[in-house]
Structure 1
């Protein structure tokens, strides 16, 4: 099963394909991007990209697996970023993770991408809560989360492979009810 293609004003969100490996390496291989993530190693090799794509494709039929979409610019097709919804042990909940390529920082793509994935998570996937984590020294991600309606709940400790250690993250949560009130 392929995940649906999602269109926004400026982006096309779709499941990654093997032909996307070079673009994944370009975006994820940038230290200024990977250092803010808890899932992307650095350096990020072509093999890392191929393994990631295969993992997403192999688990596409499993409703308990990660749902990842690539965000492509609708005008020229370049990879703007990635966004994932990762199911949590808590029923009806997922963690959202997103990254934007450095060349596209400050253009509003993060909000557009995350908003589309949050809406899909609540509407199509039936999620009740979506969690978002950010390093405390990443004010751009925190601002984006808060703009979407995420509210601080707690701190988590997670590994950050690009940095080679664990970090304490600020965790915010958005309920379907709150999303519906503010975006319905």
Structure 2
């Protein structure tokens, strides 16, 4: 289902899974084609909307700050940008904090083309996704996995915290030695992965 900008609150009414960035000049705002109740004003050719992904963890931190009543929460952040750029911004205000989903949510900005570009730049300067994330796959003998992971996962947790990377070991519960995989994957920013 398509996301709709709510002109009153700027909240995302519904979200869908889409590409990283979409631009549309035939926005249902203003003068929706679905409204057949009379003559429509010609849409402003300068009017546009853009949908783009933002970093889930950064948005969660911002929304959590808002629920705790701290300044610079999600509502304040987006409202200031809307006021400064004269745009409407829709965001997933009810994003479940700490959800298992790793999918980055979408933000939608509606307004005049130049204002939308400025609003997007300001949002992305704070909530930019990990676009330069890399994954390194390397072979580590499955007999060494438990030593690298450490007791209770302490070694690997420490390494992941220090580097900001996610390290994945294949399933070690296989009974047949031939089925066990040696491939370990490390995902994160290039500096951390090295």
Answer yes or no: same fold by TM over 0.5. no
TM-score normalised by structure 1 residue count = 0.27
TM-score normalised by structure 2 residue count = 0.26
Structure with more of its chain in strand, by fraction: 1
Compare CA radii of gyration and give the structure with the larger one: 2
